Amino acid sequence: MTTDDGTRPDGHGARRHGWARALAGAAAGTATAGAAAVLLALLLAASVAVLPFLARPAARTRSAGALGAAVRPLVALERRRLAALFGVEIVGRPGTARSLAYLAARCPVGLFGGLVLAFLPAGLYLAASPLEVLDGNDPGIVPVGLALVYLSAQGTVGLVGTEGWLARRLLGPSRQDLMEERIGVLVATRAGVVTAVDEERRRIERDLHDGVQQRLVLLGMALGRARRDPGSEKGRALVEQAYEETRNALRDLKEVAWRVYPAALAEEGLRAALHGLVGRSALPIDLEYRLSAAPPPAVETAAYFVVAEAVTNAVKHAGARRVDIRVWERDDGGTRSVVVRVRDDGAGGADPSGTGLTGLAGRVEALDGRLSVDSPAGGPTTVTAEVPCG
């Protein structure tokens, strides 16, 4: 956490801020627990009243809709409270049954939060009061107050943990929801990879047709004309032309091969392949490579093609004058990831839904990674990919 001027508060200030948020969360939680208890009582009474009519399907459907509409606002309020005061972000939308279960569990937790709040002012009062508060001079009153403050602090810790556990368990996505989401991602990723492979094949075909094939046609024409007059000055010039076309065809063929899969990537790894890309680029490129160990081949391939596509876009479309490439690793809870960032100073406006970037996103997501494109009009354009090595 930083302050408005960008500085970081000291440890005591951060702890005070954390306790203040936890106590505010307990106070708000007590209020919502009371509201949940009242709502559940009303819903129970309403359920008893409409029970004779639930035999009809239409009545059950309307009752379920009304029940969901009744609990949804309070659950939405709870999610905002958890995010603002406890930093617990809940994704997805829970169903009516899970929402009711959460509100039912919130009632005893809310009572616990109220008890925590009651202990704190009582303990502070007793600890700070003069010794004559009770009959006579009773020196035991201060330790009692301190004990209440301690119980309040420990109760706050337990409350925060319980709040987070309940929210993730009952409001968060269920195991089936996560599986369905994962299946959806895999289906979309597979379709994206197939599309990207088809597009790459078409691009290779265009490169071979417009580049290598045309040069080989010129080579054949030059050699054919030189055969008719091999000893003349003109014949020797045609042989020289054929030789130059051979060199150009080999160069174009090598470029196509590098775009398909660079040999250096398979033989020497990601660092060598990126240095080769930098050496062949028409733009000045600043490369910073900070990986302690070589990542798996699939991760190396994805990282390389992210850089290659981003550099190609900077040269062909952005009118950039310089490109910065940075490759480093990140360790989040024991999970090592390779992070690649390519930034150019071009005109910006890159479309993340374009064929090239969509294909890259599919390639990265197939490895459980993430690809982001930040390209405002006027630039700069930043392409960032994070690929786990697991």
How much is the average pLDDT of 59-64? Answer: 68
Range with the poorest average pLDDT among 89-98, 271-280, 368-377: 89-98
Q: Is the dihedral of CA 343, 346, 348, 354 positive or negative?
A: negative
Tokens of 132: 């004559």
Distance of alpha carbon 378 from alpha carbon 346, whole angstroms: 7
Q: Tell me the pLDDT tens digit for each residue of 289-323.
A: 998 888 888 889 889 989 988 888 888 878 888 99
257-291 as b/e, with b when 16 or more CB fall inside 10 Å? ebbeebebbeeebbbebbebbbeeeebebeeeeeb
Q: What is the DSSP letter of 84?
A: I
* Residue 4: pLDDT over 70: no
Sketch the domain layout of the chain as residue ranges: 11-173, 206-260, 265-388
Distance of alpha carbon 309 from alpha carbon 303, whole angstroms: 10
Q: Tell me: domain 265-388, CATH 3.30.565.10, correct?
A: yes
Share of the chain above pLDDT 70, in %: 74
Q: Tell me the pLDDT tens digit for each residue of 83-139.
A: 776 666 676 667 777 778 888 888 888 777 777 777 777 777 777 765 445 455 555
Q: Is the dihedral of CA 74, 78, 84, 88 positive or negative?
A: negative
Cβ atoms of residues 113 and 159 within 8 Å: yes
pTM: 0.49
